[in-house]
Amino acid sequence: MKQLTALKTILGVGLFGLLFSGYLSYQEFFGDADNTGCDALGQPGTIFGYPPCIYGFFMYLLMVVLSALGLRKKNN
């Protein structure tokens, strides 16, 4: 697989994950947390008091930013 194709694939997966974890995170903070599949804030099963979907959001955000920077560098 070429590097450009790999970066585009990573960007696509990252965007999907960002949307999915963003939806779960939004539901966790502002919606009905019982229907999201994430643990409630401060409950057992959380990491430092926050549900795993919050950390997933920031990991996917980092993935999207790094792959976008890689694509931008490849185009220049």
pLDDT digits (tens, 9 = 90+) for 63-74: 999 999 998 887
**Domains of the chain, residue spans:** 3-75
Per-residue model confidence as pLDDT tens digits over 4-46: 899 999 999 999 999 999 998 888 777 765 555 555 555 666 7
Under 8 Å between Cβ of 38 and 26: no
Burial 18-39 (b: 16+ CB within 10 A, else e): beebbebbebbeeeebeebebb
In angstroms, the CA 69 to CA 1 distance is 19
Helix (H/G/I), strand (E/B), else coil: 28: helix
